[in-house]
Amino acid sequence: MPVDSADELETVLEYETIAVVGCSSTPGKAAHDVPKYLLEHGYDVIPVNPYADEIFGREVYDSLADVAEEIDVVCIFRPSDEVGDIVDAAIERDDVKVVWTQQGIRDDEAAARAESAGRTVVQDRCMKVQHRRLAA
């Protein structure tokens, strides 16, 4: 079952390194403003977007497989029908502990695969909203 309780969400929010798949370079888009908020609140945000070179002054990676750093949380800002492939890429990495899909994004089959692989899953929740509610 995906994480739903405040205690479980607080535990997830304690992780520090977040790869944001679908991170946007366009201010005003949630895929830009949420990771920027996380960065401003002390998280190590790793942008993943094959169509950008730099976001927030940071190198942008084309895919999760290209990220050299260790990743704690994969935060997904892509349509629900793309979640499965992203989750599979997250599962291939030994370091990913949590898969988080943003508000309005969910794939129950992919979530079940991630959980079966020992990953914590948060679906259909905004990381910024949860951080403001529980950790700020």
Number of domains forming the structure of the chain? 1
Is residue 109 domain-resident?
yes
pLDDT, one tens digit per residue, over 52-95 is 999 999 999 999 999 999 999 999 999 999 999 999 999 999 99
User: Which residues does 106 contact at the CB level (< 8 Å), separation at least 6?
Assistant: 80, 83, 123, 124
Residue 1 lies in a domain: no
Distance CA 136, CA 76 (A): 22
Report pLDDT for 65.
97
Compute the radius of gyration of the chain from its Cα atoms. 13
pTM over 0.85: yes
CB atoms under 10 Å from CB of 129, counted, come to: 13
* pLDDT per residue as tens digits for the range 18-64: 999 999 999 999 999 999 999 999 999 999 999 999 999 999 999 99
pLDDT over 80 at 136, yes or no:
no
The overall average pLDDT reported for the chain is 96
Kindly state whether residue 129 falls inside one of the protein's structural domains.
Answer: yes
DSSP state of 44: E
Tokens representing residue 107 in the block: 């794939």
Domain holding 53: CATH number? Answer: 3.40.50.720
| pLDDT of res. 126 | 97
Domain that holds residue 37: 6-134
